[in-house]
Chains A and B, each alone.
Chain A
């Protein structure tokens, strides 16, 4: 999970000038996520990393990103902005993870409006700032569990 957490911290610093702290989260901590950026992980193990942002947090962050007034940020801009955040985080993680060594290939992010399913073994954390938090879910076993009859949610 570390390259994605580091990538999120870098992204918050470079794109917003925000310093952050990493907080623990559990699966039961609810996020009113309007937008999810999902980064597929190919190879072995495979799965995905999901960035999820609550509605108000995402709007504040995208407003800061684009230097627009909060009220001018609409849903389309939020999706676009969160997609870019996922792009940047995935790009940073790519520079930290050598597929030849780790066996994991980081794919191109997708933006979704509904929460992607994840397994019981997924790990969670939040990278929190004054403007809002980017929540990360790291799920490397999803495909394996599905193949073995597991119950991804």
Chain B
């Protein structure tokens, strides 16, 4: 299964990748992008089955990326991993079509529970 991890921080992309392994999701191919615009290209090239995305990013943020995907008719399961913990932002993300919202800092157990239905 292929997952697209989108975050402008290389450190956080590595942490998400590591946490996926720690959560027991070992047979994954992880592709990465540094912002929403790059991620749109990756979606067209790589056809991931799940997208895990940050909210705040330069060039194109996570919400704009999700809205563009859905406007194009792409229904790939999509969720946010973000440090923005306020509920208004989470509700906006879910309203835009996100399937889940994981708040940083997170534990492997959270990934296991939240991502389990998708992987």
Residues of A within 8 A of B (CB): 10-11, 13-15, 62, 65-67, 77, 80-81, 83-84, 87-88, 90-92, 94-95, 108
Contact = CB atoms under 8 A, between A and B. Distances in A.
Contacts of A87: 9, 12, 83, 104
Shortest Cβ-Cβ A-B pairs, 3 listed: A91-B83, A14-B105, A95-B85
Given A94-B85, A95-B86, A108-B56, A88 B105 contact: yes
Interface size class of B (residues with CB under 8 A): 10 to 19
B86 A84 contact: no
A87 B83 CA distance: 6
Nearest to A90: B83
B11 A91 contact: no
A13 B108 CA distance: 12
Nearest to A76: B10
Contacts of A94: 83-86
11 contacts: A13-B105, A14-B105, A14-B106, A65-B14, A66-B14, A84-B15, A87-B12, A88-B105, A92-B105, A94-B84, A94-B86
Nearest to A109: B83
Contacts of B76: none
Contact of A15 (B9, B10, B15, B82): B15
A97 to B, nearest CB: 10
Interface in B11-46: 11-12, 14-15, 18
A65 B9 contact: no
Contacts of B82: 91
B84 A84 contact: no
Contacts of B12: 84, 87
Nearest to A10: B105
Interface string B79-119: 00011111000000000000000011111000000000000
B113 to A, nearest CB: 15
Contacts of B104: 87-88, 91-92
A16 B56 CA distance: 23
A25 B75 CA distance: 51
Contacts of B105: 10-11, 13-15, 88, 92
A29 B82 CA distance: 33
A65 B85 contact: no
A14 B16 CA distance: 12
Contacts of B83: 87-88, 90-92, 94
